[in-house]
Amino acid sequence: MCSIRYRLGDLLHLENKSPIAPETVLKELGRLNKVSSFSRTEIFSDSPSCALELLDPYGLQNMNAPDVDMITVFTCAIQAAYFLGSSSKVSFWIAGIRSVVFDRQSSIPACNRREMAGLLKNDFKHVHLYDV
């Protein structure tokens, strides 16, 4: 399973900020699917139905966006075969825990290199930085 944390919430309505474009997330997911094929993808978001509509508008991919509490998000995302995060503290912490504690791979937006460098002490061997 691939787990995605896609922060939307208030970003959908702010004038000076916006969420990462769904095309960007899908491009990174496509890159990952070339390396490993995931049987399913779980999208964890503060706006689950909107996230699912943006990332799988036609229901062609095996994606699910459960409306769950933050503990469940952390648990599922940390245990997933792969984690794809967005620009959020939740994503940084999940990717950091996966990298440092469990030696598991994750993807985080390249624009968040500075935040991740502090968490990982500049050791990016388990974190891929993708372009947004």
Read off the amino acid at residue 109.
P
Percent of the chain scored above 90 by pLDDT?
82
d(CA 38, CA 65): 15
Its CATH class, for the domain covering 2-130, is alpha beta
Strand ranges (DSSP E) for the chain? 2-5, 41-44, 63-64, 82-84, 106-109, 127-130
| Mean pLDDT, residues 16-26 taken together | 92
| Mean pLDDT, residues 58-81 taken together | 93
- Whether 22 has a pLDDT exceeding 90, the answer reads yes
- Pairing, β 127-130 against β 2-5: unpaired
Domain residue ranges of the chain, discontinuous segments joined by +:
2-130
d(CA 47, CA 12): 10
Q: Write out pLDDT tens, residues 86-110.
A: 999 999 999 999 999 999 999 999 9
Provide the whole-model pTM. Answer: 0.93
